[in-house]
Structure formats: C-alpha cells, structure tokens
C-alpha cells in the first residue's frame, strides 16, 4: 500500500507542480490536449487550488498509515494496528468513491481522456482492495457498515460538488457567455499577454461550447487578457459586423498575424502560431 500510494503521490504531485508553474509540460499518454482539458476544467480545482493537491495530501496520509505498523513505535504498540487498519479502510473507501465520481465527470461531462487521472483512479481502487484484505481479521459486519456509510457519504458529497462546480456554466444572462472556472498558471498568463501584445483576436459566440473549452484551457486570469470578440448578433457587446467582415465561419476562430484559423487550439499550437518564446509550463 505504501508503494502504490507513493506512485499516486508522485502522479498527483507532478500535476500540482505543473499547475503551479514549478515544472515544464508533462508528457501525457494519449495526447496533452485531453489532460489539459480535464485538469483545466471547472472540476480541476477546489477553493482555488488544483484538485491534485488534495489527492497528493491524501496519498501522503495513506503512506503514513501504511508504514506506521512497521516503525518501532508501531511494533511496540500492537493495539494501534486495528485503528490503523480501520482508518485505511475509511480513507481508501472515500478515495475509490470520489475517483468513481471523477471518472464519471471525465467521461460524461468533460468528454476527454487524462491518463494521469485514470492512473490515480486505478491506484485508489487498488488501495481500497488492499485495505479490505488487511481488514479481513476484523468483524465483517462492522467493516461492511463502515464502508457502506463512508461510500454513501462521499458519493453524495462528490455528486453535490460536481453539480455546484458546473453551475457557473449556466449563462449569467441573455447573451452572456459562461464564466471561466479554471485557474491560470503563470505561463498561461504570459502566453495570453503575448497574444494580446501582437494583436491576436479570439472570435467566439456566447452559446458555443467549444469557445468555452478554448477559454478553459487558458483559465480565467489569462482569458481576461485576451481580446475576445463576440460574434453572435444577440450576444452581449456583439461585434457581428466585424466578424462578418473578417469572414469568420466557425467558432472559436483565432486571428493571429493576419491569418484566420478556426477550431480549438492547444496552448502549444497557439505558442507556435504566434511566435511565443516564453515559458511553456502551461
């Protein structure tokens, strides 16, 4: 359990370090766009911090509890082992159930694949199974009761949080685009400032889901620095005439260095198209 939790801590710790801009880009199996989309979504952070941070702390707690019986203090106090096992069962039950909620969000709401997230979910389920094996010497009815109660509580809280996190996606008024929820890393802000400095423009429509996807890749702080043009005739601050003059056919569309290109672009693609030379620790 300690070994698996260490892998999980490295996994979630790497994601956290990337989101904080401490390390460069991570190589995400299956494509970086999917990972960026998932990790930068409305469900990618809690209380302004990456969700992976809380995962990393939880894995650290599992490591501590798993090695405690092996330490001299644990060996000399055998009465603490049942408590340790019980705590591991409760914690890993919560981890497994919350991971199930996150996998559902990834598949049904975000509709993208993140290998790091899947790895963390697989580790959580594996730790849960191992904790149940450790608890086989405990009274079965008590273990089942604790698992069921914890699972129900975490599932209810997780589903409630999921609904609340996505609430801002509802328009704030007629012709209003959804609020951007993802947090921006320093590199994303730098890229947005560069795009603004060279006169790049993002043509969008308030009702366009792919436009929201593009903004979420930047995060709210970086999006605020981008020149965003509303093309929907009934949108707030509409500039539909300008969009027609530019020949905008689809949303979102980027105008960079006089060239119009439609479709959601990854941050690396935008950096290449715009000649960005700064940090790419997006």
- 21 phi, psi to nearest 5 deg: 80, 20
Helix (H, G, I), strand (E, B) or coil at 255: strand
pTM: 0.65
Question: How high is the pLDDT of residue 80?
Answer: 60
pLDDT at 76: 60
Question: Domain map of the chain by residue range?
Answer: 2-167, 186-274
3-state SS class at 266:
coil
HSE of 100 in the Cβ direction (CA atoms, 13 Å)? 15
Instruction: Check: CB of residue 257 under 8 Å from CB of residue 250.
Output: no
* 186-274 CATH pick, 3.40.30.10, 1.10.150.130, 2.40.128.20, 3.40.50.1370: 3.40.30.10
Whether the link from the prior residue into 252 is cis, omega within 30° of 0, is yes
Q: Which of 170, 208, 213 is nearest to 44 (CA)?
A: 213
Confidence at residue 229, expressed as pLDDT on a 0 to 100 scale? 95
Q: What is the CATH number of domain 2-167?
A: 1.20.1440.130
The DSSP bridge partners found for residue 256 are: 259
Q: How many CB atoms lie within 10 A of CB 142?
A: 11
**3-class state of residue 93 by DSSP:** helix
Mean pLDDT by 10 residues, the chain (282 residues): 97 87 74 72 79 96 92 64 90 97 92 91 97 87 93 96 69 72 91 96 89 91 95 90 92 94 92 94 86
253-256 and 45-46 as β-strands: parallel, antiparallel, unpaired? unpaired
């Amino acid at each position: 359990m300690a070994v698996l939790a260490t892998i999980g801590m490295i996994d979630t710790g790497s994601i956290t370090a990337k989101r904080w801009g401490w390390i460069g880009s991570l190589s995400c199996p299956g494509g970086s766009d999917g990972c960026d989309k998932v990790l930068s979504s409305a469900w990618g952070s809690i209380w302004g911090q990456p969700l992976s941070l809380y995962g990393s702390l939880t894995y650290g707690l599992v490591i501590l509890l798993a090695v405690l019986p092996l330490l001299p203090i644990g060996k000399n106090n055998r009465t603490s082992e049942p408590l340790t096992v019980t705590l591991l069962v409760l914690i890993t039950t919560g981890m497994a159930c919350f991971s199930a909620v996150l996998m559902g969000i990834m598949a049904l709401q975000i509709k993208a694949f993140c290998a790091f997230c899947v790895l963390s979910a697989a580790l959580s389920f594996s730790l849960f199974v191992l904790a149940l094996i450790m608890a086989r010497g405990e009274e079965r009815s008590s273990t089942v009761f604790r698992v069921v109660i914890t699972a129900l509580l975490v599932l209810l809280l997780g589903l409630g949080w999921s609904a609340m996190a996505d609430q801002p996606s509802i328009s704030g008024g007629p012709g209003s685009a959804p609020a951007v929820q993802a947090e921006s890393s320093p590199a994303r802000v730098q890229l947005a400032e560069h795009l603004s400095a060279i006169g790049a423009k993002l043509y969008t429509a308030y009702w366009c889901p792919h436009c929201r996807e593009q903004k979420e890749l930047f995060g709210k702080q970086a999006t605020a620095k981008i020149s965003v043009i509303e093309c929907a005739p009934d949108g707030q601050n509409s500039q539909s005439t300008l969009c027609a003059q530019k020949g905008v056919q689809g949303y979102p569309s980027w105008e960079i260095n006089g060239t119009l290109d439609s479709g959601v672009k990854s941050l690396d693609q935008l950096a290449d198209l715009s000649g960005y030379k700064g940090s790419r620790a997006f």
